[in-house]
Every structure is written in structure tokens, then in C-alpha cells.
A and B are shown apart, each in its own frame.
Chain A
Amino acid sequence: MSAAQSATPLRARSRLAAIREAAPHPTRWRHIVGYMLAVYRREWQGSVFSGFIEPIVVLAGLGIGLGVLVGDKAAEITGGVSYVAYIAPALMVSSAMNLATSEAAWPILARVAWVRIYHAIIATPLNAADVMVGAIAFIVGKVAFAAAFFAGVLLITGITTSPEGALGMLAVSILTAFAFGAPMAAFSVTQKSDQGFAFLFRLIITPLTFFSGTYFPIENLPFAAQVLSWCTPLAHGVALSRALALGTPLTNLGIHVAALLLWGIVGTIAAIYLFRKRMLK
């Protein structure tokens, strides 16, 4: 009966059981997605603007307004296409980033620290890992939905002409949502209030759009800024999305995809680890 007497195989079995207890279950995370969908059905009106309308307003404003200003010079940067066609695939990815990070901020912090429903959920058969995997999966799914809408608008307006390109952009937006949503979730589960978010959004997330090749090529930046830029997921997402949309040759495809996946996977593991640390005291 006592641990000291138990033979090694039993101890090994126990260790395996303990790991199984901590690891995400193959399917239980989907109930978190179901829960978030139930919440979303109640409050979708609130997020329609930020998720769906805002990116299109930005595209129209910058594409047309800035496009006129840039005028003929645009071709030098864009390699021949219109300025709006140049920034559209990048804006789609940076919108994915914005939506994924904000969805992984307040909604997660609230459930950890304010309404505390996560405390109740980990007292059900779901464990902390299931909760994090489900929360991240919902964020990625929500971004996919918004990105599909954006891609549809681009196709209808003729800004993007190739359906394959639109599908490619959608895939990149999903990867980008994963690359930002998971690390952001990891940050959120460590927070006691939302003060940290203001700092993060103002100093990192918002400026990222300008330094990741969205509006002008990364090559226009000083070398140090270029290096820094490639260390973040957005530059990789922008490069991929633009190449796929414009049909320009893709260099370093594997590196871009790997960088986005790495951010997402490491972020997910960190989120599970930090969430467990906070909840299972």
C-alpha cells in the first residue's frame, strides 16, 4: 500500500497517470469552444465592428487615401500592383493579430480573475490544459471567421483576383492568430488586472503593424529594426500573405510557416504551464 513498498512498474504507471492528468485531453477542449460560442451568440454585436468592419474601414482609408498620395511611386515599392492591393493581404494579417491578441486578453483575464468561471471549470472533468487549448482554439476559429469575411470582401471588390490567393491569405491569418493568441493567453493568465494590457498593446502590438512590412517593405527599415522585426510573428505572416495574394515567388516559405507555428506551440505550452501554476495551488 505505501509508496515505499510499491514496485517500480507501479510507480511508472503512476507517473504516466499523473502526466495524463496534466496533459490536454484529445477532445474535451471542444467544450470550451462550445461554451465560448454560447457566449459569442449573446454578445456578437459588440465585436462585429472591431473584428469585421474596422479592417475594411482601415483598408479603404489607407488604400484609397494613402494610395493617391503615394501615387505613381507605389509601383516602385509594390512591383507593379496598386497600393491597395499591396497592403490588403498585410492588413488582413495584422487584423488577425489585433483580434487574436484582444480576444486572448480581456476575455481570458476576466475568466481567471473577475468572473472566475475557469475556477469552476477546472473542478469538472476538464483540466487546466483543456481550458487553455479550448480557449486558444476558439480565438483561432473566431479570427478565421473574420478573415474569411475580409477575404470575401477583397474578392468581391476585385482587390484580390485569385481565389487561391484568398485561400492562402486565410490560412496565413489562421496561423498568425495562433502565433499571437497563444502567447497572449500565456501573458493574460499571469495578470491580476488589465493594466498590463495597455502597456502591451501600446508598446508592442500596435507599433508592430508599422514595423512588419504592412505599409512599406521591411527592407526600408534600419538593419537592427529588420532583425527585430523578423523575431516577431507578424513580419512572417505579412511576407507569406502578400506573396500568396500577389502570386510573387515565395522565398523561405518553410521558415515563415515554422516561425508562426513555433510561436503558437511555445505559446500554448507556456499558457498551459502558467495557467496550471496560477490555478492548481
Chain B
Amino acid sequence: MGMTNSAPEPAALIRARGLTKVFGERTAVASIDFEVRDGEFFGFLGPNGAGKTTTMRMIAGVSPRTSGTLEIFGQDPDLHGSEIRGRIGVVHQQETLDMELSVRENLLVFGRFFGMDRAAIATRADELLELFQLSDRAKDQVEPLSGGMKRRLSIARSLIASPRILMLDEPTTGLDPQARHLLWDALQRLKRGGTTIVLTTHYMDEAEQLCDRLVVMDQAKIVAEGSPRQLIAEHASREVLELRFPNGTESIDVKVLEGIGDRYERLAERVIIGCENGEAAHARALEHGLDPESWLVRRSSLEDVFLRLTGRTLDE
């Protein structure tokens, strides 16, 4: 290409400007800008339908964008899709494994799609089976594997050609907590090995634990961007006091709520109060005559950031 990009430090592997996707009447992604840098763990956090999966599909070169620019490794996926896909591993939200082949065969077949030779594929496949603790199931068929194992196999398969970027769409949805933690560990190891990882999630704790940087998406737009810590510092107070009112919160006076902490959100059965000191805020709440059924104090999380930015909780 005749152009050398004045790349920021560290270099961006994925760069989107005004990226937009329209399906008929519905705008799934509305002019978003973001960059994914080399070696980072990047997240798209948002509720279902926010446009995360569509964005991932555009990056993976299987969904032509409506407008805007998109560069992966400095190339346009509409024009160099095959080349780009050869350096990206994709894990879909729903399982896409072949149920008739064995665990190992699923890997072998995929290596061929990336143009690898058989010997290299075999070595890499055994390495990945080991890494994802599937070696003893190598010869088994896929169908009877547990959900967690299938997901690990999907990730192993996406890594067969040692991609620069690994993309995961809702990787832990539907997994039990133990399988989730096992998967998180595996992803952390991959990141330490130098793989750039992009994931979508609607789980706050997942984003907070894994991501170096993330964008919060809501209704097709990016509403905030930064590291989890930055986002919390910027958009939430230090602590959160949650007061539970099973009979509803409508009758509580606004004046009272305003007097307790720095800010508040009123949900159907909960009032969430952002403050410096949760204990002190609780004491003030009681002084103001509030009588919650129960209460708790916790550190602010991304959930509070999302609530603050959109006025809604993520699972709404």
C-alpha cells in the first residue's frame, strides 16, 4: 500500500471509524469508533441487541458494513477478507462443531481450511488438546461432551492456525461457574502468550476480570470507553449502597434519596446509591426515615457504570 499509517503506540490491529450496519429499517451499529491494540484484551460490554455480535461479524469479514471505515491489520475486510480471516480465530456464540467427527478430527479438518500442512496441524492439534485439557477425549465424538468441554474445543479449533487475534462472542454464556473459571484461566494464559483477544459479553464480572480495555455498547452506540478501573472511577462513585424495598420504591421521596449519597438510581425494588462511604450513607438513609427490608454495601462495579450511563441494568 502506498500509505504508511502513523500508528499510535502500541499499534492498532483493528481500527473502526464511523462503523455502521443497517438491516432494513433497523440500525444495528450506529457509527462507532474504536481501536483494538496489539496484545490487549478488549471487550464489548452491553446487553443483548446492543450491536456487539454484529460488530464482531463485521470484523470477522462475514458481514459487509453499511458505511464507515474498518481496518484489520491495516486492511479492509471487504477487499482482503480471506487474508484477514486467515489471521483471526473466531468462536461463535452457539456451538458450530461437527458432531460426527472426533474431538481431534475437528481440529485436523480446520487446520486444512487455513492451508496448513498435515504434519504441522497434527502437532498443533495435540498441543491445543493438551492446553485445553481435552487430550484424554481426543478420540471421542463431540456430542456427549459437556458444555464447557465443547466450548473449550471451539476455542482450541479457532486457535489451530495460531491467529494474531482471537474473537469470542459471549464465550461463557450457558456455562456453569466452574467451567467459566476454567475458561477464564485459559484465556488469561493465551493473552500472556501474546494473543490479542476481543470478546463480547453481557457479564459485568467477566469484563471486569478479563478486559484491559472495553467499550460499553447500548442501542447500537458506544456509550463509554476505557479500562474497567477508569470507567468505574469516571462514571461511578467509590462505594455503592443498595437498599431493598420488596413493596416497591415509587413512594420514596426524591428529596430523601438526593440527600443520602452522590447520586442514586431508583429501580423497581431497589434503590442504588453511589457514595464515598456506604456505611455512612446507610446511617443517613435511616436518619431520613427510610426502612429498607435489607441493605448491602459494595465497591462500585461496571454494572453501576452501565446503570449510570443508560439508566438501566444490563439484564433488563
Q: Which residues of A does B touch, CB under 8 Å?
A: 1, 14, 17-18, 21, 25, 28, 31, 34-35, 38-39, 42-43, 115-117, 119-127, 279-281
Contact = CB atoms under 8 A, between A and B. Distances in A.
B19 to A, nearest CB: 15
Contact of A42 (B62, B94, B101): B101
Most interface-central of A18, A34, A119, A123 (chain B CB within 10 A): A123
Given A21-B82, A125-B83, A116 B94 contact: yes
5 contacts: A38-B101, A120-B97, A123-B88, A125-B115, A126-B82
A279 B61 CA distance: 11
B23 A281 contact: yes
B81 A21 contact: yes
A38 B108 contact: yes
Contact of B63 (A25, A35, A120, A280): A280
Interface string B70-95: 00000000111111011010101011
Given A21-B81, A35-B109, A125-B114, A117 B60 contact: no
Contact of A34 (B3, B78, B109): B109
Contacts, number: 87
B78 A279 contact: no
Nearest to B88: A123
A115 B78 contact: no
Contacts of B83: 125
A94 to B, nearest CB: 28
A125 B112 CA distance: 10
Given A42-B105, A125-B113, A279-B62, 20 more contacts: A1-B3, A14-B79, A18-B79, A25-B82, A28-B113, A31-B113, A35-B109, A38-B108, A38-B109, A39-B98, A42-B102, A116-B94, A116-B96, A120-B92, A123-B61, A123-B88, A126-B82, A126-B113, A280-B63, A281-B63
B98 A34 contact: no
A119 B115 contact: no
Given A21-B81, A38-B105, A39-B101, A124 B96 contact: no
Nearest to B64: A280
A17 B80 contact: yes
B82 to A, nearest CB: 5
B62 to A, nearest CB: 6
B315 interface: no
B3 A120 contact: no
Contacts of B110: 120, 124
Contacts of A125: 82-83, 85-86, 113-115
B99 interface: yes
A189 to B, nearest CB: 15
Given A39-B100, A281-B23, A124 B113 contact: yes
B306 to A, nearest CB: 27
A25 B3 CA distance: 28
Contacts of B63: 280-281
Nearest to B160: A124
A20 to B, nearest CB: 8
Given A1-B3, A280-B63, A119 B92 contact: yes
Interface string B102-141: 1001001110111100000000000000000000000000
B113 A17 contact: no
B112 A35 contact: yes
A127 B79 contact: no
Contacts of A43: 100
A18 B65 CA distance: 13
Interface string B147-178: 00000000001000000000000000000000
A31 B112 contact: yes
Nearest to A36: B109
